[in-house]
Amino acid sequence: MDQAITSDADDLWTVAGRSFRSRLVVGTGKYKDLEETAAAIEASGAEMVTVAVRRVNLSDPKAPMLQDYVDPKKYTYLPNTAGCHTAREAVRTLRLAREAGGWNLVKLEVLGPPPHLYPDMPGTFEAAEALIKDGFEVMVYCADDPLAAHRLEAMGCVAIMPLGAPIGSGLGIQNPAMLSLIIEQSKVPVLVDAGVGTASDAAIGMELGCTAVLLNSAIAHARNPILMARAMKAAVEAGRLAWRAGRMPRRMGADPSSPLGGLIR
């Protein structure tokens, strides 16, 4: 059990046979430019980054590409299926991603319509099944539904990633009880994916016992993304330490911290 870890050096997490020290996974979207993307990711200390798959801009084939700024040899690219609303679109997108990148580890998300973009679970099950059959290692964005999470794990998904609040909403973790239930029952890593708005939200996710936190907008849409990237790094580390330390029990009444003996009268 993780709680037995006494040394920070041993506190790694593993997904699909790859180990990571950083428990912050960051998106690479919504930045002002690729320079800012690279600087924010560097400041976050993340070792895994999510990326999207899109048509090449044929009118400007020499335009700088993400790989030129965020080195796939240094960071584990996690291709996503953002914008996919059917299993078919998601599977097609990730087959292209596998060819472009040459790796099998992917983030599956099949989304409902705006304004909530809530995970479409029937579509997610269908896509996960097809992808696993095709040899992919699937980290899956999902509803905060313990039954759905269990089913995805049983199918062979390598990480369960329930939302904390709608994508890009920055509303923070709205569902600590359901996240806790999912964390408790899961044998694979559980990442809170979507909803984190600021550093304390990331810390809460880690204090609940998440393996890691995945976020994008909270850094990219901060007034100063580089500072927020540092804040998120510190928050995830703090939340992880607090979880390892084991918080004190909550109690309804006061319990003085100073001895009652020896008071002057």
Partner 1 sequence: MTDASQATLPSFTLPSFTLNGEPRPLASAMTVADLLATLGLDGRKVAVERNEAIVPRSTYATTRLEPGDSLEIVHFIGGG
The binding site for partner 1 (CB under 8 A) comprises 27-31, 34, 37, 50-56, 58, 61-62, 65-67, 77, 79-80, 82, 92, 95-101, 167-168, 215-217, 220
Residue 70 Cβ vs partner 1, minimum distance, rounded to whole Å: 8
105: helix, strand or coil = strand
Active site residue 107: yes
Least distance between partner 1 and beta carbon 251 (Å):
40
- Comparing CB distances to partner 1, the nearer of 40 and 203 is 40
Q: Widest CA span of the chain, in angstroms?
A: 85
Given CA atoms 79, 83, 87, 93 in this order, what sign does their dihedral have? negative
Q: Which of residues 21 and 30 has its CB atom nearest to partner 1 in the complex?
A: 30
Nearer to partner 1, 54 or 116 (CB): 54
Tell me 250's DSSP state.
P
Shortest distance in whole angstroms from residue 27 CB to partner 1:
3
The tokens describing 229, both together, are 């990237």
In whole angstroms, the minimum distance from the beta carbon of 50 to partner 1 comes to 6
Among the listed residues 62, 73, 74, 107, the single catalytic one is 107
The three-class DSSP label of residue 161 is strand
d(CA 192, CA 173): 9
Rounded to whole angstroms, how far apart are CA atoms 66 and 63? 10
CB-nearer residue toward partner 1: 65 or 245: 65
- In which residue are the tokens 């700088």 written? 64
Q: Mind telling me the catalytic residues?
A: 107
